[in-house]
Amino acid sequence: MSTALVLVSHSVKIAEGVVDLAGEMAPDVPILCGAGTLEGGLGTSVDQVTGAVERALVAADGVVVLADLGSAVLTVESALDLEDGWSGRVVLADAPFVEGAVAAAVTAQQGGDVAAVRAAAQEAGTMFTPEPVQVLPPPAADAPVTARVTVANPLGLHARPAAQLARAIADLGVPVSVGGVDGSSVLQLISLGATGGTELEVAAHGPGAPEAVRAVVGLIEGGFGEA
């Protein structure tokens, strides 16, 4: 029983990159790219998907398809609708594109069938289950230094500013909480979903705490260079 993968993205570059990455971990698994429009531009095309799946079915008994954003999923579903002959041999995994492809490829390399490979891909999605917010180190005996700050840039703590803030806080060497989460964790900062105008509490303890809180407040008020 052999299983191939077909990767469907709006971007040929994204799909080809993931083909490389997953292929390195699963050298014997056919991994095909069904990405981009017919002209190779950004988008998806049923023809690209169908062509890749047909080629994959020549090389393997079954095919697991992974898709990235919205219309990629719709396009794969449309292809599955059109091709009655694939029944059961071709399935779409509801999985994160990169992590799912890597997990699926490794399982396929071990000889997993379509169901096992899809399960491996989908299990990769559980990596993203929101973790309980980490409890900060127990408060020191002295009172915390706190300040309230209003998020200045309209888009708030999205990925880039969150990463900038987390790096800055890690560099301070003093644990600082922002909105009740660990300020040195980019994922926890993003999980706040703090958009422009949101008020957040910044808190720190111990030596260096006042300076650290001031620095963090300054960064957030500065808007991370965004209008």
Partner 1 sequence: MTLDAAWARRWMTQAAAALADAKDDLTELDRQIGDADHGVNLDRGFRAVVAKLEATPAPDDETVGAVLKLVATTLMSTVGGASGPLYGTAFLRAARVTDRAHLDPPAVIALLEAALEGITARGHATVGEKTMVDAWQPAADAAAAADEGTTREVLAAAARAADAGATATIPLVATKGRASYLGERSAGHEDPGARSTAILLATAVAAVEEP
For binding to partner 1 (CB under 8 A), which residues are involved?
A: 37-38, 41-47, 70-71, 74-75, 77-79, 81-82
Q: Which is nearer to partner 1, 71 or 191 (CB)?
A: 71
Q: How many residues does the chain have?
A: 227
Q: Which is nearer to partner 1, 74 or 140 (CB)?
A: 74
Distance in Å, CB of 143 to partner 1, minimum: 38
Cβ within 8 Å of residue 21, ≥6 positions away: 98, 101, 102
Pairing of strands 176-178, 181-182: antiparallel
Distance, in Å, from the CA atom of 180 to the CA atom of 188, rounded to the nearest integer, reads 10
Query: Chain-centre distance of CA 196, in angstroms?
Result: 23
Q: Which is nearer to partner 1, 3 or 45 (CB)?
A: 45
Q: Which is nearer to partner 1, 8 or 216 (CB)?
A: 8
Nearest to 220 by CA among 181, 166, 182: 166
Pairing of strands 62-67, 3-8: parallel
Distance in Å, CB of 37 to partner 1, minimum: 4
Distance, in Å, from the CA atom of 173 to the CA atom of 219, rounded to the nearest integer, reads 16
Residues 80, 89: contact at Cβ < 8 Å?
no
Residue 158 designated active-site:
no
Distance in Å, CB of 75 to partner 1, minimum: 5
Burial of 92 (0-12, 13-18, 19+ CB in 10 A): buried
Distance in Å, CB of 17 to partner 1, minimum: 20
Q: Select which of 10, 48, 97, 224 is catalytic.
A: 10
- Catalytic residue annotation: 10
